[in-house]
Structure 1
Amino acid sequence: MRRLYAIGFPVLMAFDTLAQTCFKVAGTHALPFAPDAAWILRVAEQPWTWIALCGYLGAFVTWMRLLRDAPIGPAFAASHLEVVSVLLVSAWFLHERITPLQLFGALVIVLGIGLLAISESRETAEHADATPH
């Protein structure tokens, strides 16, 4: 089970990060924004759009697989680590500036997920101790 989490959640985060980052790049290349058919065509012509859609498909399949076995609370929380990874990838590859408030928010997200994981592991251990062998 731990192997599923150790592999599954990073794969989910990678797919989500890929999708979000590629949509950002596709949108940037399709500027200027205009709610018309020409803009939609510019977006559709971007290979980044199609890579992003593949990322979302990969994330969906990975998420469905994780939900079969993972507790929903920690799984849902861990799935939001992509907010942090997109922030870091955007800074690294797209040269976007990270503000102190964004860093603080990322830290709060990571700490919250860590606390949920600790809580879940303690609850699982207590449940295992209470179960007759």
Structure 2
Amino acid sequence: MRKFYLIGFLFLLSFDTLAQISFKMTAEAAAPPALDSAWFLRIAAQPWVYLAISGYIGAFFTWISLLRRAPVGPAFAAAHLEVVTVMFASFWIFGEQPDLPRLAGAGLIIAGIIVLAFSEKQQEAEAEHSRG
């Protein structure tokens, strides 16, 4: 079961990160933004937008599969690890420099996910002990 969660969350993070990076690539390629048909056509002509949509579809189906087995609280928290993966992908791909507040925020997100995971594990152990 643990392997299922690990693989599932890696897929979820990959799909979510792919979608966000692809949206950024689309935005840069279709600039400047305007509410006219030419802008929408520029967006539609970008292959990145279709990769972004594919990323969202992949994330949706992965998330639904994970929720069949994973407890919602920790799963929802772990799904937000995408904030961290997008930040590092943006550094690598776009050269966006993470500053100290962003790095601290990423650390807090990771710490929160770890705390929730341990809390869930403790609750499972207590529930099994009370059944036992």
| Whole-angstrom CA distance in 2 between matches of 1:97 and 1:45 | 29
> Is structure 2 residue 51 aligned with structure 1 residue 62?
no
| Whole-angstrom CA distance in 1 between matches of 2:29 and 2:73 | 37
| Whole-angstrom CA distance in 1 between matches of 2:45 and 2:99 | 33
Q: Report how far residue 6 of structure 1 moved.
A: 1.1
CA deviation map 1:25-71 (0-9, x unaligned): 11111101111111111111100000111111000000000000000
CA deviation map 1:2-25 (0-9, x unaligned): 111111001100000000000011
**Aligned residues: CA RMSD:** 0.7
| Whole-angstrom CA distance in 2 between matches of 1:37 and 1:97 | 34
Give TM-score scaled by structure 1 length.
Answer: 0.97
Paired residues in the alignment total 132
Q: Report how far residue 128 of structure 1 moved.
A: 1.0
Give TM-score scaled by structure 2 length.
Answer: 0.97
2:99 aligned residue:
99
Alignment of 1:29-40 (within 5 A): 29-40=29-40
Identical amino acids, percent of aligned pairs: 51
Alignment of 1:1-133 (within 5 A): 1-132=1-132
SS in 1 for 2:32: coil
Whichever residue aligns with residue 68 of structure 2, its letter is R
Q: Which runs of 4+ in 1 moved over 2 A?
A: none
Whichever residue aligns with residue 50 of structure 1, its letter is Y
SS in 2 for 1:69: coil
